[in-house]
Structure 1
Amino acid sequence: MAPLLGVLAGAGLFLVWWSAWEESGGRAARLPRASRLDDLLRNAGIEKVSGLGLITTCFGLAVFVALVFFVVTRSMPISCCFGLFGGWFPVALVRWRALKRTAVLRQLWPDVVDHLRSAIRAGLSLPEALIQLGDKGPEELRHLFRDFGADYRSGGQFDPALNRLKDRLADPVADRIVEALRLTRDVGGSDLGRLLGTLSEFLRESARTRSELEARQSWTVNAARLAVAAPWIVMVLLASRPEAVAAYNTPLGAAVLLGGLVVSVVCYSIMLRIGALPQDERVLR
């Protein structure tokens, strides 16, 4: 009898442990976390390219640029350096587009909030207020709110459609607006109009201040980029001379190129980190 009780107790403990493990795994499966590259692509407004597709593009462009420089210079060290630059170019382009889109959205969100406030004060429900932004909202965001309207009409469920809208917008300000609307719909309340009015004023003041800071910062960043690019522009000119190519084909020349590449990357990264303005992070996913 005692061995049987021991076996049953052990089986019970194992089942408890196993159920807890399944719950944790199920929760992770229900809430998958996107990779940083996927987040970057969504921030840039690129919806039809995945993180794997971006990596493949970087690799293909790196190989192509390296082959072109090798055909022109017949120098493997020089070709590898510029191949690395070519492979980094798609990521840099996507980051630039993400920053540009964020700056544009920063100017549009106050208008979006004002449209929502006016629609809600006119008696429209929250789904209707969001759907009408597909026709009356800012031009750059209308297609996203039209997609929200299609999702809501097809399923009739507000929360799933709102989650998909938040994923498409991929913006910290949009996260706050969406969660405020969700909370208001769940718990009710009569202060939504006042909340949206305060939020609109805050967003306008924040966008104005940040635009002034970015304007003052731009000349420093551009000067640093020129300082980093200048040596490699000189390298391209030197690659047209056979004696320079022969010098860089030696182990010492390759070491000089590698050291210059490391210094350029490290110094440029430090410059960006020191001079970067604080960025809003998406915490309400």
Structure 2
Amino acid sequence: MNGIATGALLGVGVFCLWWSCWERPAPADRPRRRWIRPLLDAAGLGDVPTAVLPVGCVLAAVVAAVVVTAVTGVVVLGAGAAVAAATAPVSLLRHRVARRQAESAAQWPDAVDALAAAVRAGASLPEAVCGLATRGPQQLRPAFARFAAGHRASGAFDAELQHLRAELADPVFDRLAATLRMTRQVGGSDLGATLRTLSGYLREDRRTRGELLARQSWTVSAARLAVAAPWVVLGLLATRPGTLDAYGDATGAVVLAVGAVVSVGSYRVMVRLGRLPEPRRVLS
């Protein structure tokens, strides 16, 4: 027994020596929560602290586990409910991001057209961008109004454009901001033609994506129904006394766990295979 303890202690010491040879990244450079901030910004929740999302996931998991276990008496169902509830806030945020991007995608061609018209009329680039606060699409006017106020106060076009890009967190505006910044820095007389080309591209991309999503919707709905059907049946059977007793032993727990893994895995594979490529943000 003493030999085992000595060997374990020696192994821990060797591991500590090996671990000390590697340089640990600074706290600001660690990837922890790196994906939470962009997700909250894209969902329009830039003022929400990053700690709110993991805390909400943990609370949802605990509440779901306690409620389901107390109602059914099956620990495996409680664990499955906890996992589903823990992922629910992230799924809701991603759904909110997709909805905001779809809504803004319908607004950006008009915004680019208004910007191109202002440039063609002889307005300077900062004036044209500030003018979107009154002539742009209704949904985008508050953000451009804040840009106009900041630009009048500071006069720094690039800095305020960066703040606007962080606030909107939109891939389309990232490309537009890169075009405006390059034109501002190096100049050029083709900005109007470039903006008109971008507007036409955005309209064509939105039309094509809408057609693909319409054709894909029935497949996604069928997959969701196929995944939910066995669990709906299980929930209906749970209303009868004694039905869930079969899942109280180890064999029942294995059946439920395997069923949950197969359901979630097959659904995720279907979603990934049929997912359309999403526009990525640039200069982020």
**TM-score, normalised to structure 1's length?**
0.85
Please name the residue that 1:103 is paired with.
102
SS for the counterpart of 1:117 is helix
Please name the residue that 1:282 is paired with.
281
Superposed, which structure 2 residues align to 1:1-285 within 5 Å?
Answer: 35-285=34-284
- The answer to whether the 8 A contact 2:151-2:157 is kept is yes
SS for the counterpart of 1:35 is coil
CA distance in 2, matches of 1:33, 1:255: 33
Instruction: Name the count of aligned residue pairs.
Output: 257
- The answer to whether the 8 A contact 2:101-2:170 is kept is yes
SS for the counterpart of 1:279 is coil
Identity percentage of aligned residues: 49
Q: Which runs of 5+ in 1 are unaligned?
A: 1-24
Instruction: Flag the structure with higher helix content.
Output: 1
1:43-72 deviation line (CA, Å, top 9, x unaligned): 222223243211211111111122121222
CA gap 1:284/1:33 in 2 versus in 1, 3 angstroms: farther
CA distance in 1, matches of 2:247, 2:150: 59
CA shift for structure 1 position 33: 10
Amino acid at match of 1:218: S
- The answer to whether the 8 A contact 1:78-1:248 is kept is no
- The answer to whether the 8 A contact 1:35-1:51 is kept is no
1:75-122 deviation line (CA, Å, top 9, x unaligned): 221111122212221111111111111111221111110011111122
CA shift for structure 1 position 125: 1.7
CA shift for structure 1 position 279: 1.0
1:126-153 deviation line (CA, Å, top 9, x unaligned): 2221122122211111111122122222
SS for the counterpart of 2:48 is coil
CA distance in 1, matches of 2:33, 2:42: 12
- The answer to whether the 8 A contact 2:125-2:184 is kept is yes
SS for the counterpart of 1:140 is coil
CA distance in 2, matches of 1:54, 1:105: 24
Q: Which runs of 5+ in 2 are unaligned?
A: 1-25
- The answer to whether the 8 A contact 1:144-1:165 is kept is yes
Question: Runs (4+) of structure 1 moved beyond 3 Å?
Answer: none
CA distance in 2, matches of 1:144, 1:237: 49
Greater alpha carbon shift after TM alignment, 93-102 vs 36-45: 36-45
SS for the counterpart of 1:241 is coil
**TM-score, normalised to structure 2's length?**
0.85
- The answer to whether the 8 A contact 2:80-2:260 is kept is yes
CA distance in 2, matches of 1:202, 1:33: 37
1:172-221 deviation line (CA, Å, top 9, x unaligned): 11111001000000001111011101111111111111111111111111
Amino acid at match of 1:194: A
CA distance in 2, matches of 1:117, 1:206: 19
